[in-house]
Structure 1
């Protein structure tokens, strides 16, 4: 299989997303006179409709944005916290050793809607009606159903028909699973969008007031009321094989608002890379760069055995620190300054040897003792149906016998004004939790990423943000925005996007060529999603890797697992070439779904 798509170049706007319809919606919003933030929000809402197996209105989204008017990079945190009733004692009293991967118990405050409203209020220009128009249209009038969505619905149809009955009413039209490619509608979700818009426009004729009214309708109005009536008041089946009530209440929603934060950044050569904070896994991208900064990657050669080995071993060290030290900085003292410092990185770099590391080796920043939480598994019911084993795994989609998982969504936009934004929406997927009656969407279950062990930065606690895997990136060069990118992929996001970035920064590839380079990753550390499995020493590589490279990696001690060519990740990227005064867009060919547009 060989690709070679052109890098798209234009002067008006650049868009890339994990589905062609959100890309088209974003470009339409730019054509209407909106800016990059309006366009990204429009695409984000369309993603909730057309990729319900990856994200939803009840999910979450971190956003990294550069605003030309202020010449600043900011992060909008759309990771909702745990409910106030969520305590370690509550979960252990239920006989649980880990937070379930699906159902009502792991549900968090849905952060996506408030985050898009905050982005629009801070930086957008268009009325809310223009931003929601495309999502409403697809939810109400239908869209062609993706094969991945259809497969997931078909597998979960028995669960939806017998246990999660509102999910059945939403996803089983006429009582049957829909077919891939057929037009699919979600009228309840369309009505939710329309009611949010109606309450916004009724409240005021001013754009900012309408955004505030829509946010209030969601977090203090009819959406919060529906969640409050359903989640604590019903016992429903979850991945434990038992029925539990949820903990999320309307008051939890009313108490939350998306925050605007400073980014975490690192200088790498001539580039300054900006990421969300340690409430996400995002800083592992920067830690990997800090480690790799001491190697001559260009001298090794792209996709050589030395290159794959070095990048992989740096990833192992960075993710070991994620496991020991990352968590919500508002509730824990995360030593991020030390973790990203040159002396710490130099000491950690010295651990990398010719042979593959066999154990997880977190560091000791400030001479602290690292703690890796013991992630104990609750076994799936032995006599359960096949779908029970699927919901026991907290990943968004059905788990097949392959390492080539591409969960979650991405949208990146750059406009003619110099604005740039990267967002990675996820959560609230149709497998995560039952659909809320009357609303047409599920809640996000990011709580499953937390530990029930006391004293860890990512320990479960009321109001604490669970550590998310979602990780958008934005890059400046000489103080100007040049690149925004992201990918689906859970724990692997900051490996696949790192490989893309290195192809651009160290090897000089254009954006599209960089999305088509060899992809690889390690699962040396515990997965964020239940049942939190790890595969030490395994190095997963696409099959188009040169045989002599595979042979050398095996000699170095890696257990090489080959997967299909062009199957890992779906990198979306946009860029600005300030010397040529043009915009650029690129989309990975993997999955034959990601789509870039530029004019």
Structure 2
């Protein structure tokens, strides 16, 4: 029997799992009020913007994977592209070699709001005011601040007080950062949402008309005007200089969220669905392809040999991400079919040896030569020369030197009708850009994930999406959606999710269903053998961090095989959420990550 921190919840009415209990409770309130999973997800998404402002915000982005009951699985892209003025030439003319990790130059077109409204319009049943009222209430009346908010503000205190003074007004009133448990209010954000709803109500007729009007207000009205005006103001960024951004009102008006087919892979009776290679989603599928033998002749689950096999497969998949993934078009289209083909995977699997590789080894799908940028190549060579055992940044949180990045949220919902949705909101963090005083939130920084070297799959290009780390997941069995899951964690997301899915698939079920909580609680790990997606794009060849609960024997075996192992705390790797549905019985399940004491599942 597996002992877990919490039970896997089960019921038949509805289940929600998210990275914050208030978002989960708000989504459940929508379900109780008769809304469906998509209404609930939209409500939770807006609540997360309020209660986890250090992890996402209104001007961030969100990819969504949805499975309407009886309908096909679709991906809804809420990742905005680079503005028209965001050319490589513009950035290099400023003396930059990388897109800054903060500031207006790093801002893509905000995508989250339009994606949430599109999901509500096409698959929900509620009015915009119905789903926004929870977020408005928490912004107006306050919510108990989680410790991460104040800790983040303290790390950027000097920046806020000397440069980003509009952020200090909100997050350092009277010089004090938000204390854990203290009520944190954002009345300006509440007023922004109230004004947007009022203008949409006046301009739109019928539910769909009001949703479309809300989208117009965001993309063409007072919100777009305030964001573009503020983007034009120079602000201090991680380059140590003040730069203005490139986002304009025309950029906001010309983009909208869109649907696309998921990339899928069949693995041992599971069909796993991910967003395309403009995300890192196919990395999970490549890892599954490389690990096709695990259920039969593979090493025993949880052993050092098992972890070694997973880590080495992950290194190969992430090397391919670096060489091949991006929002490529035309002749540069990413060769996903070749990357997932049996023949290519067999050649790649043969590279997994008895010892740890410290090299960045992308493959040649379809005979094509891999394209690695100079930064990636130089970083790998420099780290190899140094034997880089220095502590890495790990997750994309605030670095020790004060340079700012951010992290992510996640939510999953399944309802009694069988609708299922998985979404990973991020960006627009309080530490990403100065707060726009007229709106109560800052711009995002997703452009930092694009390269300034021409000719790469992820080269900064106007109108194209920067390759994102955001990567929700949805899995089917027998053609029926059965599992939605995901996690924060930047580059670690599809490492942690692969480990989770294997724990679900390879371990014994409980109470007639999947052991979701046991799979979430299982000791996790991550490696850093590729250029990071966040500024300053560092890598640590051979470096692996494992939770201490993995056990001394497993750690010894990894070190014997040449891994540079850092033993982390017992509950430091992975922050997964998951919901499930048994198509035969209609039983719903949910679980959430105990790490950080913030994520919760609810349901009945």
SS in 1 for 2:96: coil
Q: Does 1:554 align with 2:553?
A: no
Aligned to 1:199: 199
Divergent runs of 4+, >4 A: 296-299, 393-396
Q: CA deviation at 1:396?
A: 5.5
SS at match of 2:65: strand
Q: CA 1:59–1:406 in structure 2 vs 1: closer, same or farther (change >3 Å)?
A: closer
CA contact (8 A) 2:396 2:406 kept: no
CA deviation string 1:325-355 (max 9, x = no partner): 0000346411111001111111111111111
- Could you tell me the TM-score, scaled by structure 1's length? 0.94
Residues 1:439 and 2:439 are matched in the alignment: yes
The count of aligned residue pairs is 580
Distance 2:377 2:26 in 1: 42
Aligned residue for 1:573, secondary structure, equals strand
Distance 2:373 2:298 in 1: 38
Alpha-carbon distance between aligned partners in 2 of 1:15 and 1:100, rounded to the nearest angstrom: 36
Q: CA deviation at 1:377?
A: 12
1:428 shift after superposition: 0.3
Mapped contact 2:395–2:492 kept (Cα < 8 A): no
8 A Cα contact 1:53 1:397, kept in partner: no
1:506 and 2:506 matched: yes
Q: Is the 8 A contact 2:82 2:461 kept in 1?
A: yes
Rounded to whole Å, the distance in 2 between the matches of 1:575 and 1:469 is 24
Structure 1 residues 285-324: aligned runs within 5 Å: 285-296=284-295, 299-324=298-323
The aligned counterpart of 2:386 is none
Say yes or no: does 1:563 pair with 2:568. Answer: yes
Deviation at 1:372, TM superposition (A): 1.3
Seen in structure 2, the aligned counterparts of structure 1 residues 251 and 77 have a Cα distance that, compared at 3 Å, is same
Matches of 1:286 and 1:538, distance apart in 2? 22
Contact 2:163 2:236 in 1 (8 A): yes
Task: Give deviations 1:476-528, integer Å, cap 9, x for gaps.
Answer: 11111100000010000001011110011122341111101110111100100
Query: Which residue does 2:382 correspond to in 1?
Result: none
Q: CA offset at residue 175 of structure 1?
A: 4.0
The Cα offsets for residues 265-323 of structure 1, whole Å up to 9 and x where unpaired, read as 00011111000000000100000001101344675222101110100000000000000
Q: Secondary structure at the match of 1:375?
A: helix
Is 1:231 matched up with 2:236?
no
How large is the Cα RMSD of the aligned pairs? 1.9
Whether the 8 Å contact between 1:129 and 1:197 is mirrored in structure 2 is yes
Secondary structure, aligned partner of 1:530? coil
- Aligned CA distance change for structure 1 residues 396 and 339 (closer, same or farther; 3 Å): closer
SS of match in other structure, 2:202: helix
1:31-430 matched pairs, under 5 angstroms = 31-69=32-70, 71-232=71-232, 234-296=233-295, 299-330=298-329, 332-375=332-375, 397-400=397-400, 407-430=407-430
Q: Determine helix, strand or coil for the equivalent of 2:105.
A: coil
The answer as to 2:584 corresponding to 1:597 is no
- 1:81-119 per-residue CA deviation (whole Å, 9 max, x = no partner) reads 011001111111111111100011010000000000111
Shift of 1:376: 7.7
1:104-157 Cα distance to aligned partner (Å, 9 max, x none): 101000000000011111100011111001000000100001111011112222
Q: In 1, distance between residues paired with 2:428 and 2:371?
A: 30
SS of the residue corresponding to residue 476 of structure 1 reads strand
Q: Is the 8 A contact 2:80 2:110 kept in 1?
A: yes
Post-superposition shift, 1:400?
4.8
- Find the aligned partners of 2:406 and 2:120 in 1 and give their Cα distance: 28
Change (3 A) 1:220 1:298: farther
Tell me, in whole angstroms, the C-alpha distance in 2 between the residues paired with 1:253 and 1:585.
37
Matches within 5 A, 1:462-477: 462-477=462-477
Matches of 2:497 and 2:394 in 1, distance apart? Answer: 22
Partner of 1:382: none
The alpha-carbon deviation at position 197 of structure 1 amounts to 1.1
Aligned to 2:537: 532
Equivalents in 1 of 2:424, 2:180: separation in Å?
Answer: 25
Structure 1 residues 139 and 297, CA, compared in 2 at 3 Å: closer, same or farther?
Answer: farther
Do the aligned residues in 2 keep the contact of 1:63 with 1:424 (CA within 8 Å)?
A: yes
Instruction: Give the 3-state SS of the residue equivalent to 1:561 in structure 2.
Output: strand
Contact 1:279 1:328 in 2 (8 A): yes
In structure 1, stretches of 5+ residues that fail to align are 379-392
Deviates more, 1:527-536 or 1:293-302: 293-302
Distance of 1:297 and 1:465 partners within structure 2: 39
Instruction: Compute the displacement of 1:446 (Å).
Output: 0.6
Q: Could you tell which deviates more after superposition, 274-283 or 200-209?
A: 200-209
Q: Indicate yes or no: 2:15 matched with 1:14.
A: yes
How much does 1:540 deviate? 0.9
Report the secondary structure of 1:179's partner residue: coil
With over 3 angstroms needed to count, the CA separation of the structure-2 counterparts of 1:406 and 1:551, relative to structure 1, is: farther
Contact in 1 for aligned 2:149/2:178 (Cα 8 Å): no
1:577 counterpart residue number: 582
Deviation at 1:406, TM superposition (A): 9.1
1:469-488 equivalences in 2 (<5 Å): 469-488=469-488
More moved, 239-248 vs 418-427: 239-248
Q: SS in structure 1 opposite 2:484?
A: strand
